[in-house]
Amino acid sequence: MRNFGSIRTHINRKLSDAYINESAEGKDMFKKYIKLLKEDTNLKNLFFLHKNLEDTTLSTETAAREFIRENISFFKQEDNESLVTSVNKVDSLVDGDVDSTVLHDAIHTLVFTERTLETLTVIHEAMDVVTKHILTEKNKSQLTTDNDYKPVNSDKLIEIAVDKYNKRYSELSETERNIIRLSLLDNEVKETSFDDLVKENLNTIDSKLIEYDEMDVREKLKQTKEKLNTMKYNEESFVDDMFKLSALKESVL
């Protein structure tokens, strides 16, 4: 059985590709996935489990491990066969291979591995993987009792992939396609891509400052460099920021 986290990521990527390539397949898959989440309590709980363990940042190992145990405890009350049946429903929506990650595999192990003397080592290794992830700063809000988690819905992703950007760009370039694909990936991947593009722009500006003697040009380059140095990754404005940085990269070059 493939793990739910990797299947969920695969479906989200398919939705992004569907809107970029004007394909109905990914859209239909996503609609069926949302329907299953609404109808199947096991799948809904798995969705929130992954959201909790993937998105939360805590500052101490003790707190992280306790948080993991509390999340996993909800599934220890369920019949394992029922959980497997639920995951297989989602898996049936996907054809072909699904790329897995160490984190998703670890969460899957904690949920589905029976606790015995023979499996304790595997379970503790998985616990270490998830704990390390939760202790890593993800530039998200810290966990509070006020968090109100809502199920993912197609409207939000459609707005990201279509309404917000295609109204401004009648034809998407390869760079723009890549940015939209990135917008649906994990937060850590997006932050790394943002930081890399900022650094690339800074390096280009530094090289141009050496090449140009004109005062007006140098002053504009310095002002741009100062602005770049103040830019910070923001999940909400990620796509807009990436478009601006890509446009700046092309204009400076």
Give the Cα separation of 249 and 243 in Å (integer): 10
pLDDT band for 213, please (50, 70, 90 cuts). Answer: confident
Phi-psi region of 74 (alpha: psi -120 to 50; beta: other; left: phi over 0): alpha
Per-residue pLDDT at 89: 92
- What percent of the chain has pLDDT above 90? 26
What is residue 22's predicted lDDT score, i.e. its pLDDT? Answer: 63
Answer whether 45's CB lies under 8 Å from 149's CB.
no
What's the rounded mean pLDDT across residues 158-168? 48
What local confidence, expressed as pLDDT, does residue 163 receive?
Answer: 53
End-to-end Cα separation, the chain, in angstroms = 49
pLDDT tens digits, 133-158? 999 876 543 433 343 434 444 445 54
pLDDT of residue 127 exceeding 60: yes
DSSP per position, 108-131? HHHHHS---TTTHHHHHHHHHHHH
Task: Give pLDDT, residue 74.
Answer: 81
Average pLDDT over residues 68-75: 89
What is this structure's pTM? 0.53
Residue 71 pLDDT more than 70? yes
Domain parsing of the chain, residue ranges: 4-135, 155-252
Structure tokens at 173: 């370039």
The CA distance from 94 to 2, in Å, is 11
pLDDT at 70 over 80: yes
pLDDT at 92 over 70: yes
How confident is the model at residue 165, as a pLDDT?
45
pLDDT for residue 248 is more than 70: yes
pLDDT of residue 125: 96
pLDDT band with cut points at 50, 70 and 90 for residue 171: low
Residue 120 vs residues 81, 158, 178: alpha-carbon distances, Å: 21, 43, 41
Q: Which pLDDT does position 142 carry in this prediction?
A: 40
- In this prediction, residue 30 carries a pLDDT of 81
What's the CA angle centered on 82, arms 80 and 87, to 5 degrees?
Answer: 95
pLDDT at 188 over 70: yes
pLDDT in the model for residue 157: 52
Q: Tell me how far apart the alpha carbons of residues 92 and 10 are, in angstroms, rounded to a whole number.
A: 13
- Average pLDDT for residues 210-214, to the nearest whole number? 77
Q: Is the pLDDT of residue 66 over 50?
A: yes
